[in-house]
Amino acid sequence: MTETQLARLERAHASIRERAGAPAAIAIMLGSGLGQLADEVEDAVTIPYAEVEGFPVSTAPGHKGAFVIGTLHGCRVAMMQGRLHLYEGWAPRDIALAVYLLQRLGARTLIVTNAAGSLNPEYEPGDVMLIEDHMNFTGMNPLVGPNDEAIGIRFPDMSRAYHPDLLKVAADAAGKAGVALRRGIYAGVLGPSLETSAERRYYRASGSDAVGMSTVTEVIAAAHANLPVIGLSAITNKATGGPEQQPDTIEEVFANAEIAGRKIEAILGRLLPALKGA
């Protein structure tokens, strides 16, 4: 008999509950090239994914694969140093498990970060985009299959997956940190191959500003669990699909993710205290 999502969640939580310690009100998922932000966590408890009962193990480059729980900018946080991707072969429900577990660890707000290509020609590598909404081009949804009302309702609303109130809080934090913030729509694709030029032009025509291989699955799960989300994209490469389009390299992506990561770190320095006081 297939184990239910709720049973998986309870088993995973029970395996790390005591090590995790006090509840962490803010959860942060770190995307490709952004794992260095976990090094700033004070009094950190590090729990590798492999030590969590029934939890998937991250295999993507630049994703260490560990929960880092401690204090960041005066706030108790639970951070995922590396995420899980559909292109690694994990099922959407495997990826959703991470969101539900973060909520069990005390999260009342989820901050998701990612590395993304810029479909919008005005965006430059090294920019940071505040995600206002997303489009799911993966063809998958973590809520397919039996639903457990103990986790969330059968048909969660996605019209405010990135809540307007939190968008304002994040934008204010970026302003106070002196970071110029882009705002736009994120297109989530399956990967792992990068998009063709025609696909990039199509995603742009659909209204998207950036494209990446993560985030949408986690945000759907967060909406399911009624967990508010803030999304920040590190713009790592030009992905306009025009005649000037150049081939992308993972080295260039990571270098630009590091530049944007420093800006995201500055935003978090203002954002986390604001969320703590909200």
pLDDT band, residue 221 (cuts 50/70/90) = very high
| Cα(73)–Cα(275) distance, integer angstroms | 11
pLDDT of residue 60: 61
Q: Is the pLDDT of residue 63 over 60?
A: no
Q: How far, in whole angstroms, is CA 90 from its chain's centroid?
A: 16
| Cα(17)–Cα(4) distance, integer angstroms | 20
pLDDT of residue 83: 87
Mean pLDDT of the chain: 93
Under 8 Å between Cβ of 34 and 215: no
pLDDT of residue 79: 95
Domains and CATH numbers, the chain: 5-277 (3.40.50.1580)
Residues forming a β-bridge with 29? 80, 112
pLDDT band, residue 208 (cuts 50/70/90) = very high
pLDDT of residue 245: 84
> CA 191 → CA 56, 194, 215, distances in Å?
18, 6, 13
Average pLDDT over residues 185-212: 96
Q: What is the pTM of this model?
A: 0.95
Write out pLDDT tens, residues 16-45: 999 999 999 999 999 876 777 888 899 999
